[in-house]
Every structure is written in C-alpha cells, then in structure tokens.
A and B are shown apart, each in its own frame.
Chain A
C-alpha cells in the first residue's frame, strides 16, 4: 500500500475525539473525525470512541443517524473498533443513569459497578491488568499479542459489559472482586473497555496491530 490507511473516527458530538486522533496520527494513519455516512463507509477502518454518558451518547447517535452508519460499516467486514463507551454502545442496553437501549449489534447488557462494596471505589479509574479468556472462541484474531497477558492498560468507567455470548470475551479484568469483560472480538469488531490511546506504548501497539494486521489480511 502506498497510501496510508484511512480511519474514520465516528463523531457523535459529545466525546473527546482528539486523543484518538492524535494517537492515530502518531502511528501514521490518515484519520478523519466525522459523522458523514459516505466518508465513514469509504474509510479503511472505523473507530467508535467513547467518553460521555450512555443516554446522552445514544441521543446524539440517533439524532445524527449514526446507528445505521455503524451497522452498515460493520457489514462491510472492514476493521471496526469500539473504545470504552463506544464498546458499551454496541450492546442491547445500559443502566447508566437510566435504562437506555443501545445499538444491539452484539447481545448483552451494560451494568453499573455496585456502589456500596467495601474497598471498591467507583468509577474504576486507573491502570489495571488484562487476562486472556480461556473460554474464547479459537477463531478469534485479535490485536493483542500473547505477551500482553498481565499488561497494564488505562481504564476509566463506572459500568461494564456483560456479553451474552461468552465466546466473544477476549480478555477479563478484575476490580473489587468482580471479573469483568475488558475486551471482545467478534468477526471484524474488536472493542475494549480500556483506552488504548491513553495506555502509553502498549496501547499504541494495540491500535497499530488492530488496523495494520486486519487490513493486510
């Protein structure tokens, strides 16, 4: 490839897109922050980023017609990545603030960390480790190396995803006695609760693997 891969960062107007844009630029990808249907569909890869609250995000996604855009992009089989809230939005519903329907691209729900457990502070903020899910489907091709087992990534969230199909769970992370799903892989989708764009060199490696490997296939 002579041209750099172009990645669309899906803009739903409330999120901080700039971190992910900076990280992609640093890695040499061409990158556009946009909510435009044809620009997103024409990109080589797409990211649904995420900071913000679930209900607010869904409101904007619907108003901008992005639910169809995301669905259509995923149907192209090009690499699609969801980060943090962008991971949670792919599922059926979330309890954050008020029960809200999600995109239902994957089956499962998003629930809050219990607030009154001793020693558990919510939100879960900081660097935590990932463990490989041994029950994962063997067909999973992921942007993680095996050597990433036990590595630290940066998390900041109050809710976590409970996927219905446990085979899509790629890694889990422990917090306050709860072992939650910290990333999933399903066909061309990789989505994670942590922020690769904020996880130093390890996170940068996940981003670069995700798009380089999958596009070269």
Chain B
C-alpha cells in the first residue's frame, strides 16, 4: 500500500454560487456549492478546494458562510483560496472551518508572506497556487487574478522560490487547458514536479478519465483538482439543483452544447478506473 492519488473536487465560487468557466473566464452559474460539495464527499472525494474567483478582484472575502456550512457536515480536508492577503485573513478562513489556504496574488506581491504564514500555521496549511500561461516564446509565466495579470515570474523558478520560502504544497493551474477538457499540459507539470520536492496538485484540462490516468501514470503529482468533469455529471443527472434548474446556464449545460470535450464522470467511477489501472486510490464504499 502507499500514498493514494488525491482526487480533489475544485469548486469555483462567486458570491453564493458555484460557477465554472473556460480558461478561468466566462463564468457560468451552476448551483449551490454546498450541495455539490456534499455529493462529492459522499462519492468519495479526497479533498475539497474552494476558490473564491472574485475575492482578489474586489478586495473582499465572501466565502465564510459557505466554508462554515461545509465544515459542519463534511469531514475531509477543505482548502480555500481567493483574496487572502495577510496572516489575519488566513486565521479567519481557518476559523471558519478550512484546513488549508491557497494563496496566489499576495504570495507574488509579498513572498515573505509564504515564510511567515508557514512558520505560524505550519507549512502544511499553506498552499501556493500558480496560474501558468504559455507565452508566444514558449516560456510559461505565472499570472494572477484568474489569468488576467502578468507577474513577470517564470513558472519553474517561481515554484523553486515557493519551496525555498517554506510552503507546504503547490496547486498548478494550466490556464490554457482549464475548462477545456483537452487533457493536462503534461510537459509543464513534469517540469514543475521535477524542479521541486513539494507535493504538486495539477489543475486544468481533465476532459475524461483517461486524461487523469495519463497524468497519474506519467507525472509524480500528489493530486489532481477536477471541476467540469464532476460538475457536469452532477447536473446531467439532475441531482439536487436547488431551484437552479430555471437558470439559463444549467439549461445550457443540459443541452450539451458546452460538453463537447467533457466526458463527465462521478468520482466513484473515476476512482474505480484508476484502481483498475494500478493507481492507488482511496476507494469509498
């Protein structure tokens, strides 16, 4: 037996709603995050990742209610990102019931935050998120604010710096792949995993079970963060839509126009598929 490949349900949240975009843009409302989260927990998700997608744009944080509701009924790790600027912000998110925080913008603006937060809360509480975008010259650069703002930092060297500063984990989002269902950017993920010894969670591109298997077989990632693949399965099977059925966005998904690259699947089935292919996973009965 060995450490299991973590299947992390990533939920992008805007105000009270679960949203999903493509390349982190063009967000559509899908439903109530708590209902999706509960379903993923029951299906055997290994972790939940909540990203407040507007917090750092508007300089506020609206997630606390959703976090505390989730933490009362879901007993797997919960990581929360979006708009975290200082030690006090981290403290407040942990108090609301999160187990780990994920930081991007503030870590780039003030790398010392990584070391001070890791010392104070323990390295394993601090996840640094990298939004990587491939440039015309072939280099991968780190961005902030859902891939909108360039930082001038090259992804692999930034990952090494993050490790030096003492973070506990990196979530690597390949923005060009995100929401596309075209598969992971294996080259980039490989470059980052071989540059550092921190655990790496890959995010962006899962369009079917085979994509996840290709990643797990090829690259020593610790986990994979998945959203569209799971969200679309939830919606297509008419699971508790909480009145969101009437929203044009859900209708849009159900009409299958958005699904051409996404072969949706529930977590339980994805895990069985990985286990059959000798990737250790925690199976949930």
Residues on A facing B (Cβ under 8 Å): 14, 16, 18-19, 22-23, 25-26, 51-53, 56, 85, 97, 115-116, 119-129, 131, 150, 152, 154, 156-158, 174-175, 195, 197-201, 203-204
A51-B125 in contact (CB<8A): yes
B75-A125 in contact (CB<8A): no
Contacts of A131 in B (CB 8 A): 1
A123-B120 in contact (CB<8A): no
Partner of B199, one of A97, A121, A199, A200: A121
A198-B75 in contact (CB<8A): yes
Distance between Cα atoms of A101 and B208 in the complex (Å):
50
Distance between Cα atoms of A85 and B122 in the complex (Å):
10
- Give residues of chain B (93-142) contacting chain A, Cβ–Cβ below 8 Å: 94-100, 118-125
A123-B169 in contact (CB<8A): yes
User: Is B6 located at the chain interface by the 8 A CB criterion?
Assistant: yes
A51-B46 in contact (CB<8A): no
With A22-B72, A26-B72 as known contacts, state yes or no: A174 contacts B1, CB within 8 Å: yes
Closest 9 CB pairs of A and B: A152-B282, A129-B1, A127-B4, A156-B124, A127-B282, A123-B124, A16-B94, A121-B199, A52-B122
Distance between Cα atoms of A175 and B3 in the complex (Å):
7
- B1-33 vs A, CB cutoff 8 Å, 1 = contact: the mask equals 111101000000000000000000000000000
Contacts of A199 in B (CB 8 A): 75-76
Distance between Cα atoms of A126 and B224 in the complex (Å):
12
- Give residues of chain B (37-84) contacting chain A, Cβ–Cβ below 8 Å: 41, 46, 68, 71-73, 75-77
B119-A53 in contact (CB<8A): yes
User: Is B181 located at the chain interface by the 8 A CB criterion?
Assistant: no
Partner of A125, one of B76, B94, B199: B199
Chief secondary structure at chain A's binding surface: mixed
A127-B71 in contact (CB<8A): no
Contacts of B94 in A (CB 8 A): 16, 18, 51
With A152-B4, A175-B3, A200-B76 as known contacts, state yes or no: A121 contacts B197, CB within 8 Å: yes
A18-B96 in contact (CB<8A): yes
Contacts of B264 in A (CB 8 A): none
- B225-245 vs A, CB cutoff 8 Å, 1 = contact: the mask equals 000000000000000000000
B120-A126 in contact (CB<8A): no
- Interface size bucket, B side? 35 or more
Partner of A123, one of B96, B199, B282: B199
28 CB < 8 A contacts A-B: A14-B121, A16-B94, A16-B95, A16-B98, A18-B68, A19-B97, A51-B121, A52-B125, A116-B197, A121-B198, A121-B220, A122-B197, A122-B198, A123-B199, A126-B3, A126-B4, A126-B199, A127-B4, A128-B2, A129-B2, A154-B76, A156-B99, A156-B100, A156-B168, A157-B124, A199-B75, A200-B41, A203-B75
B122-A51 in contact (CB<8A): yes
Partner of A53, one of B68, B99, B120, B223: B120
B4-A22 in contact (CB<8A): no
Kindly list 18 other residue pairs between chains A and B, CB separation below 8 angstroms, not including A25-B72, A52-B121, A126-B6. A16-B94, A19-B99, A26-B72, A26-B73, A51-B121, A51-B125, A123-B169, A125-B169, A126-B4, A127-B282, A128-B1, A156-B124, A158-B123, A174-B2, A175-B2, A200-B41, A200-B75, A204-B75
Contacts of B177 in A (CB 8 A): none
User: Is B252 located at the chain interface by the 8 A CB criterion?
Assistant: no
Greatest chain A CB density within 10 A among B76, B168, B169, B282 is at: B282
B90 to chain A, nearest CB (A): 10
Q: Who on chain B is nearest to A151 by CB?
A: B282
Distance between Cα atoms of A26 and B77 in the complex (Å):
16
Distance between Cα atoms of A71 and B254 in the complex (Å):
60
A18-B124 in contact (CB<8A): no
Q: Who on chain B is nearest to A97 by CB?
A: B119
With A125-B168, A126-B6 as known contacts, state yes or no: A154 contacts B77, CB within 8 Å: yes
User: Is B180 located at the chain interface by the 8 A CB criterion?
Assistant: no
Contacts of B46 in A (CB 8 A): 126-127, 154
Partner of A197, one of B68, B75, B122, B222: B75
Q: Who on chain B is nearest to A156 by CB?
A: B124
A208 to chain B, nearest CB (A): 12
Q: Who on chain B is nearest to A157 by CB?
A: B124
B271 to chain A, nearest CB (A): 11
A128-B197 in contact (CB<8A): no
- Give residues of chain B (236-285) contacting chain A, Cβ–Cβ below 8 Å: 282, 284
B197-A19 in contact (CB<8A): no
